[in-house]
Amino acid sequence: MSKLKVIDLFCGAGGLSLGFENAGFDILLGIDNDAKALETFELNHKGAKSICGDITQITYKENIKPIIGDANIDVIIGGPPCQGMSLSGPRKFDDPRNKLYLSYIRLVDEIRPKAFVIENVPGLVGLFGGQIKDSIIQKFSDMGYKIEYKILCAADYGVPQMRKRVVFVGYKKGKFEFVK
């Protein structure tokens, strides 16, 4: 069986991609606006390509397809910036980075992968009375995805830190359950 092909939005140095690669996925592409982080991404993921740019301006047809060719994208992963939603430090509700998750949703809509994974700060779940969480779920549901989400603690999965993240998993077929 061939490996599922993945692109990573907001990839940074490629930590999330590394987890997926270690789990047997094929990382095709990382997208970020930090050129130095992308240098590290490419060193961590030999054979993967990268795009450095403003994700709000990147489209599948104009930017991604010319780089990956006819490869099917099975899974999209990513962690949109979350500084304005974090419970650590001052929340800035008007921080423009708070809306970058909309570019993630737009690219999923353009590409229509079999599945996607978004990780973010747990504060996103209750922000604005849960409106952002509800909007994320509704937009993906309207595209035909089933959505599961859960707040996870890294320490519960063997990572030596007490870092909590909310993880959304969307999929079209089958069933998904978070590991307990």
List the catalytic residues: 82
For residue 146, the 8-state DSSP code is E
CA dihedral defined by 54, 57, 59, 65, rounded to 10 degrees?
-50
Classify the phi-psi angles of 9: left when phi > 0, otherwise alpha if psi is within -120 to 50, otherwise beta: beta
- Return all residues near 24 (Cβ < 8 A) that are at least 6 apart: 3, 4
Query: 90 vs 68, 82, 83, 86, CA distance in Å?
Result: 39, 12, 9, 8
Beta-sheet strands, E only, within the chain: 5-9, 26-32, 49-52, 75-78, 115-120, 146-153, 164-171
Q: List, as one string, the DSSP characters of 61-75.
A: IIIIHHHHTT----E
Residue 103 in 3-state DSSP?
helix
